[in-house]
Amino acid sequence: MPRKILALALLTAAFAAPLSAPAPALAADDDSIAREDRIADLERKLEVITDELARVRDQVAVPEEPELTSAYGFGPAASKVYGIESGLSIGGYGEFYYRNFIGDAGSGSDSVGGLQISDRQLDRADAYRMVLYLGYKFNENIVLNSEIEFEHATTGSTASSSGGSASVELMSLDFFWKKEINYRAGLLLMPMGFLNEVHEPPFFHGVQRPETERRIIPSTWRELGMGFFGELGDTIDYRAYIVTGFNSRGFSDSGIRGGRQKGNRSLAEDFGFVGRMDWSPTPEWMIGGSLYYGDTGQDQEIGGDIDVPDGALLALEAHVQYRRGQFEARALFAYNQLSDARDLNVALGRPIDRPIADKMLGGYVEVAYDIWPTIFNNYDKYLAPFLRVEYVDTQYEVPSGYSPNRRNAYWLYTPGITFKPHPNVAIKLEYRNFNTQGAPRPDELAFGMGFAF
C-alpha cells in the first residue's frame, strides 16, 4: 500500500501543471513525448525507492516468516541478527502477570521499605520485563549481540515496592571461523539448563520459570568471559567458556543466586569453567548436559582479618526433550556441591538454622499437549494444557553443627495452560501448589502474557 500511495503522489505531481492552450500538432507531439519521458523517469525513480525500502527492511531484520527460530544457543528473538546479510537487527520480548496467593494463611510475609506490614503474602500485578535485543552484523564473520532488560516498569521506588532495574544481560561478540569451532567473548549467558539461554516467554510453559532453573541454576545467569562454540557433525552442538566466578558472600540458605556478579565490576581473582553439549539424534529428540566448576572466594577478607574460603562450586545439569506432533515433554535434573561450606558459614556468620548448604539439588518433569488441532482441525493457533512436577532442595545436605531450613525443600506441582494466538505471543494461566518439608508456603494462581519479536 505505501508503494501505491508513493507512485500516485509522484504521478499526480507530474500531471498537476496546467495544460497550455491548443497548439500546432507538432507542439502537441513534443508535449506527448516529454510527458512519456517524465513518466519513464518517475518509474525509474520509483524502482530505486522500492529497492531502497527493501534494503532498509533487511537491515532492521523485519521478519518475513511469522515464527522465530533459535540459533547458536540463543533464544528465537535473540537469534534474528544471524539471519540478516549485514547491518542492524532489532528484536525483543516482554512479559507481565497477575499473581494471587491462595491458602496457607500466615505462611509468608511482605514488607515495604524494610517495614513489616503483614504476616501474609499480598497479591501482585507486575510489568515484569521489557527487553530489547540490539544486534549488528559487521560482516559474515563478526556479529554483535546484546540484550538490554528493564524489570518491574521503573527504577524508582513506590509505596508498594522498591525500584526495578535496567541491566545489560548479554553483550557478546561472535567471531565465526568454521562450523566446528567459533569464538565468543563478552558478557555471556551461561549455557546451562533449558531457560538460562532461551528464556523468552512464548517459548516456555508457565507464567513463572521453573524453580529449579531459578534456585539451583540461577537464571538469568550471565558472567564476563570468552570461549568457543560450534557443531560437530549434524547432531551435536557445544559451548565452552572461561568466565568470572561467583562471589560466595552472596550465597544463602536459598541457594547460590545472590553470588552472581552479572558483569558489574566483577571480582576476577577466581574464574570458572562452564561447558555444554547437546545431541539431537532425530528431530524429535534433544539430549544433553552441562557442567560448571570454579572457586568462589575471590581472595576476599571480612573485617580485615577473616579470609573468605575458596569454596569451589561444582554444578552439574542433565536434560532431555522430546517433541513430536502435538505432544511435547522435557525433564531436567540439576545438582550443586560447594566445598568449604562450613568454613564459609562461620566466616559469614550465618545463622545455625539457615546455613549455606554443602549440596543442593532440584529437578522437574513437564508434559504438554496441543489440543487446538484436535478441536478445530487446523494448526492456526496453539492451545496446550501442561503439567510440571518439580522437587527443589537448596538445603539437601548442610555442614555439621548446622540444621537445614526445611522450608527451602519442597515439591511443586504446576498445572496450567498456554494459548498462542500467534507463534510469538503467549497467554498463560498456571496454579502452583507448594508442599514444603518445613513451614508452609501459600499456593499461587497466576495469569500472564508474553511476546517476542
**Which domain range does residue 26 map to?**
2-55
Averaged confidence pLDDT in the chain? 89
**Together in a domain, 281 and 332:** yes
Angle between helical axes of 2-15 and 25-59 (0-180°, round to 10): 150
At residue 155, the pLDDT reads: 94
Average pLDDT over residues 296-306: 92
In this structure, is residue 420 part of a structural domain?
Answer: yes
d(C-alpha 59, C-alpha 81), whole Å:
9
d(C-alpha 357, C-alpha 376), whole Å:
51
In this structure, is residue 72 part of a structural domain?
Answer: no
At residue 17, the pLDDT reads: 41
Asked if residue 25 has pLDDT above 80, the reply is no
The DSSP-derived string for 91-142 is EEEEEEEEEEEES-TTS--EEETTEEEESSPPPEEEEEEEEEEEEEE-SSSE
- pLDDT digits 0-9 by tens, 223-267: 999 999 999 999 999 999 999 999 999 999 999 999 999 999 999
At residue 358, the pLDDT reads: 98
**Residue 43 pLDDT grade (very low, low, confident, very high; cuts 50, 70, 90):** confident
Asked if residue 64 has pLDDT above 70, the reply is no
**Together in a domain, 360 and 248:** yes
**Residue 276 pLDDT grade (very low, low, confident, very high; cuts 50, 70, 90):** very high
Query: Could you tell me the CATH number of the domain that includes residue 95?
Result: 2.40.160.10
**Together in a domain, 38 and 93:** no
Burial class (CB in 10 A: 0-12, 13-18, 19+), 48: exposed
Pick the residue with more confidence: 25 or 83?
Answer: 83
- pLDDT digits 0-9 by tens, 212-228: 999 999 999 999 999 99
In this structure, is residue 26 part of a structural domain?
Answer: yes
**Together in a domain, 88 and 137:** yes
Asked if residue 52 has pLDDT above 80, the reply is no
d(C-alpha 201, C-alpha 18), whole Å:
60
**Residue 112 pLDDT grade (very low, low, confident, very high; cuts 50, 70, 90):** very low
At residue 303, the pLDDT reads: 85
Q: What percent of the chain has pLDDT over 90?
A: 79
In this structure, is residue 195 part of a structural domain?
Answer: yes
Residue 70 DSSP code: -
Nearby residues of 445 by Cβ (< 8 Å), 6 or more positions away: 99, 100, 102, 430, 431, 432
At residue 45, the pLDDT reads: 76
In this structure, is residue 71 part of a structural domain?
Answer: no
Nearby residues of 269 by Cβ (< 8 Å), 6 or more positions away: 297, 298, 299
- pLDDT digits 0-9 by tens, 434-452: 999 888 999 999 999 999 9
Asked if residue 12 has pLDDT above 70, the reply is no
Asked if residue 300 has pLDDT above 80, the reply is yes
**Together in a domain, 134 and 234:** yes
At residue 15, the pLDDT reads: 40
d(C-alpha 13, C-alpha 292), whole Å:
67
User: Nearest to residue 328, comparing CAs of 434, 429, 431, 418?
Assistant: 418
**Together in a domain, 45 and 116:** no
- pLDDT digits 0-9 by tens, 315-353: 999 999 999 999 999 999 999 999 999 999 999 999 999
**Together in a domain, 222 and 289:** yes
Q: What percent of the chain has pLDDT over 70?
A: 86
The DSSP-derived string for 355-410 is PPPSEEEEEEEEEEE--HHHHHSS-SSEEEEEEEEEEEEEEEE--TT----GGGEE
**Together in a domain, 125 and 14:** no
At residue 438, the pLDDT reads: 87
User: Radius of gyration of the chain from Cα atoms?
Assistant: 28
At residue 8, the pLDDT reads: 41
Average pLDDT over residues 185-211: 97
**Residue 57 pLDDT grade (very low, low, confident, very high; cuts 50, 70, 90):** low
At residue 29, the pLDDT reads: 65
Asked if residue 26 has pLDDT above 70, the reply is no
**Residue 50 pLDDT grade (very low, low, confident, very high; cuts 50, 70, 90):** confident
d(C-alpha 243, C-alpha 186), whole Å:
9
Scan for cell 501543471, then name that residue.
Answer: 17
In this structure, is residue 43 part of a structural domain?
Answer: yes
**Together in a domain, 245 and 375:** yes
At residue 60, the pLDDT reads: 52
**Together in a domain, 51 and 91:** no
Pick the residue with more confidence: 15 or 334?
Answer: 334
**Together in a domain, 51 and 84:** no
In this structure, is residue 166 part of a structural domain?
Answer: yes
- pLDDT digits 0-9 by tens, 143-187: 999 999 999 999 999 999 999 999 999 999 999 999 999 999 999
Pick the residue with more confidence: 106 or 361?
Answer: 361
Q: Which of 40, 55, 70 is the last residue of a domain?
A: 55
Asked if residue 21 has pLDDT above 50, the reply is no
In this structure, is residue 430 part of a structural domain?
Answer: yes
Q: How many domains would you assign to the chain?
A: 2
**Together in a domain, 124 and 35:** no
